[in-house]
Chains A and B, each alone.
Chain A
C-alpha cells in the first residue's frame, strides 16, 4: 500500500485513453487511438515502434502542437502537474510549453532558426517564461549552454546555426529544451541524424542532466540500443496503440507481444553471423482503415481466429508489465 501511494504522488505526467485523429479525404486517420501511460519523476520512458505507428503524433499531442485542422485530440486526458492540458486554452498552453513540458526534435540541421543567433534563440525561451531582467536572462542562457558542454559559450552565443556542426546544434536544441527547467522533456529521436560517437556523447549528456535535475524524459525512438541504454520503462506502439508496456528488463527478457518479439528479433547482433537480417513480413494496416480485431493479426506468426474478431484486452504479464495479446496467459 505504501509503495502505491508513493507512486501516485510521484507521477508527473498521466496520459489516459488519448485519441488523436486526423480527418483526411481517405477517411479518419486514427494516428493515436487510445493510449494510456504514466511518467514518474526522474524516470525515462521509451516509446518505440516503426515509422507511422503514432509515436510522433503522441509527442505532438502531449505538446498540444497537433495542426488543427486536420488533426484533433478527440478524447482522453493529459494530466501534467495535476492539470489536464487537453482542456486548457491555447494561451495558457503556450505558458506551459517550454516551461513545464519541453521538446527536443529530431533534425539539428533544420530545428534552429537560421536568421537568429544561438544566444537569441536560447534567451527567447527564458525570456518568455521568466520575468527577470535582461542581464540575468543572458547569464542564464550562458549557464544552460555550458551545461550542454558548448565550449567557449561566451563567444559562441553570437554565432548563427550555420556556423555550428550538427552535434553542436543538437546541444543547443537540448539547451533550449532544459532552459526553463521543465518537469517533462520529450526527446523525439534526438540522435538519429548524429554520427555514432556524437550520439553516445549526447545520450550521456542527457543522462547527466537528468540526474542533476530529476527530470522525467520521454524518449521516442526506434533504436533498441538506445532504449537499453537510456530507458527505465518502455511502451511499444503499433498502429496507434500501445501493445506492450513494461520495464526495460521485462521487455528485453520476456517480450510477450508477438510484435515486440519480432522487433527485438530484427535488431542485428554482433555475435551472430546470419545470411539475411530478420524482418517482419508485410506492412502495418493503413490508419484510416484499421481492422476490427488486432492490427498486427495479418503479420502475426501465431495468429488465431479470435484475433481477427476482437481487439485483445490488456493482459498483465507480471507486475507492471502488460501486453495486448490473446496469447498472454493462455
Chain B
C-alpha cells in the first residue's frame, strides 16, 4: 500500500513538473515577456532593467530554474491587467470554481450512480428508459446550448432562479446542472454496464446460494465491484469538472477561474493565464491522486499488488 502510494505521488509530481516545463516553453516561444509589460514610450534602459528583474539576461535553463523557484513559492509574477500578483487574483477566484465543480460533482454522482444501479437491476423497465434519456441528453447536448436553454426555461420563462452571476444560494443550480450533466450521464452508463457484468458473475450466484438476500447482494456484493470503473473515472471527472468550467462559467457569468482564464486570454494577460493553467493542473493532479487512494481502498487487488 505505501509503495503504491509513493509511486502515485512520484508520478503526480512528474506530471506537474512536465506541465510546468511546457508552460515555460510556451511562454518563451510566444515572444519576449517585456513586450507585455513595457509600452512604446519605454527606453532601452527600462528594457534592460526589466530584463534583469525578470532574469531574461540569463540562459534558458537558468530562467526555467527561476520560474520553478517562483512557482514553488507561489509566485507567478504580476498580472498585467490587474497590476497585482497573479497568485492573489487566482486565490480570489478559486473558491467560486471549486464550489461550482464540487456541486456539479455531487450532482453527477447523485444522479448517475443510483440511476445506473436501478437501470441495471430493473433492466428494460421505465426506470431503464428514463436512464437512457438522461444519458442521451447529457452526452449529446453541448453544455453551452444546454446552459442557454436552461436559462431560457428556468430563469426567463419560469423565473425560479437567477439567470446569471453568483448572487443568491440558488444561482448555482443551473450552472452546476449544466456542468455536471455530462458526467452524470457518463457515470450512469458506467455504473449500469459494470453492474450488469457483476450481477451476471459467478460470485453473485454463490452469494445468493449462501442465502444472502437480493437486497444485500445488490448493495454489498455487486455495488462494491461495480464501483470500480466509475471510481477510476471519478479522477477524470473531478479534474474535468473543476478545470473544464470555461464554457459554463462564461455562459452563466460565474466569477471563477474558467472565466478568469478567458478574461486573461482576451486581455493578453500572459502571466495570469499561466497562473490559472498551473492552478488547473495542480487541481487536476491532486484530484487524480485522491481517487487513486480511494481506488486502492475499494479494490484489494490494487492494494496488495
**Interface residues, chain A, with chain B CB atoms under 8 Å away:** 63, 65, 90-91, 94-99, 102-103, 105-107, 110-117, 124-125, 128-129, 160, 162-163, 173, 176
Contact = CB atoms under 8 A, between A and B. Distances in A.
Contact of B300 (A63, A129, A162): A162
B201 interface: yes
Nearest to B199: A67
Contacts of A103: 206, 209
B84 interface: no
B211 interface: yes
A113 B299 CA distance: 11
Interface of B: 201-203, 205-214, 221, 224-225, 298-301, 304
Contacts of B206: 103, 105, 111-113, 173, 176
A116 B222 CA distance: 11
A166 B224 CA distance: 23
16 contacts: A63-B208, A63-B209, A65-B208, A96-B211, A97-B209, A98-B210, A102-B209, A105-B206, A107-B202, A110-B203, A111-B206, A112-B203, A113-B221, A117-B300, A160-B300, A162-B301
Given A97-B210, A114-B225, 20 more contacts: A65-B205, A65-B208, A97-B211, A98-B209, A98-B210, A98-B211, A103-B206, A103-B209, A105-B205, A110-B203, A111-B202, A113-B206, A115-B224, A115-B225, A115-B299, A115-B300, A124-B212, A125-B211, A173-B206, A176-B206
Nearest to A69: B124
B214 A129 contact: no
B55 to A, nearest CB: 53
Nearest to B206: A111
Contacts of A111: 202-203, 205-206
Nearest to A115: B224
Contacts of A63: 208-209
Contacts of A160: 300-301, 304
B91 to A, nearest CB: 40
B215 to A, nearest CB: 10
Which of A65, A94, A113, A116 has most B Cβ within 10 Å? A113
Contacts of A124: 207, 210, 212
A94 B203 contact: no
Given A114-B300, A114-B301, A162-B300, A97 B203 contact: no
A112 B210 CA distance: 12
A165 B205 CA distance: 21
